[in-house]
């Protein structure tokens, strides 16, 4: 069904009150005659040019305002993920529903790439070391033994975190 603006509805109603037929109204306004009869029927039931029938289907568990609250909780790091948001603020809603609503808000859950903190003193030491070894040949590097590194998490979570995806760039709080 085509949207009919409130101004067009009022013109249809006024012309009908003047005694014009459905065909005359449709031809003068430039819409189909069944649209005229549908608009007049809806106006007789509601008496309002702005009336729109309520949407069918099951109502959502989370309102738009609640979705913004969930997104705010994640941005303020009050919760680390959707499951925590569900436990703290919305126990009646499943974590999966919260994830879907957050995705609609533009928040995506990704593993955050962290960069270790390097103090200015260590940066200078690294620069000096690189300058000293810049002239090394392949033969010099063959004498160096490289060992595997292990990952140790002292302060950060190893899990996924939500971030806002805007134009291909992920922004994290």
In this prediction, residue 6 carries a pLDDT of 86
In this prediction, residue 152 carries a pLDDT of 66
In this prediction, residue 56 carries a pLDDT of 87
In this prediction, residue 74 carries a pLDDT of 87
Q: Which two tokens stand for residue 3?
A: 């949207």
Q: What is the dihedral of CA 60, 65, 66, 67, to 10 degrees?
A: 80
Query: What are the angstrom distances between the C-alpha of 63 and each of 67, 69, 80?
Result: 6, 10, 21
In this prediction, residue 121 carries a pLDDT of 94
Instruction: Give the integer Cα–Cα distance in Å for 127 and 166.
Output: 35
In the chain, what are the domain boundaries? 6-46, 64-114+159-171
Residue 38 near residue 75, CB atoms below 8 Å: no
Secondary structure of residue 3 in the 3-state scheme:
coil
Residues of the chain with pLDDT under 70: 1-2, 111-113, 150-173
In this prediction, residue 67 carries a pLDDT of 93
In this prediction, residue 108 carries a pLDDT of 79
Query: E strand or H helix at 169, and its extent?
Result: strand 169-171
Q: Which two tokens stand for residue 156?
A: 């950060």
In this prediction, residue 92 carries a pLDDT of 94
């Amino acid at each position: 069904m085509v949207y009919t603006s409130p101004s067009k509805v009022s013109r249809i109603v006024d012309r009908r009150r003047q005694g014009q037929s459905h065909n005359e109204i449709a031809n003068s306004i430039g819409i189909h005659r069944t649209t005229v009869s549908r608009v007049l029927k809806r106006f007789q039931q509601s008496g309002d040019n702005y009336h729109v029938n309520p949407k069918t289907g099951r109502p959502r568990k989370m309102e738009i305002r609640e979705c913004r609250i969930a997104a705010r909780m994640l941005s303020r790091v009050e919760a680390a993920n959707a499951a925590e948001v569900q436990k703290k603020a919305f126990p009646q809603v499943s974590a999966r529903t919260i994830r879907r609503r957050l995705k609609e808000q533009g928040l995506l859950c990704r593993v955050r790439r962290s960069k270790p903190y390097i103090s200015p003193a260590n940066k200078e030491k690294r620069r000096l070391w690189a300058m000293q070894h810049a002239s090394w040949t392949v033969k010099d590097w063959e004498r160096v033994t490289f060992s595997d590194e292990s990952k140790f998490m002292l302060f950060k979570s190893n899990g996924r975190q939500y971030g806002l995806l805007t134009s291909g760039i992920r922004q994290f709080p």
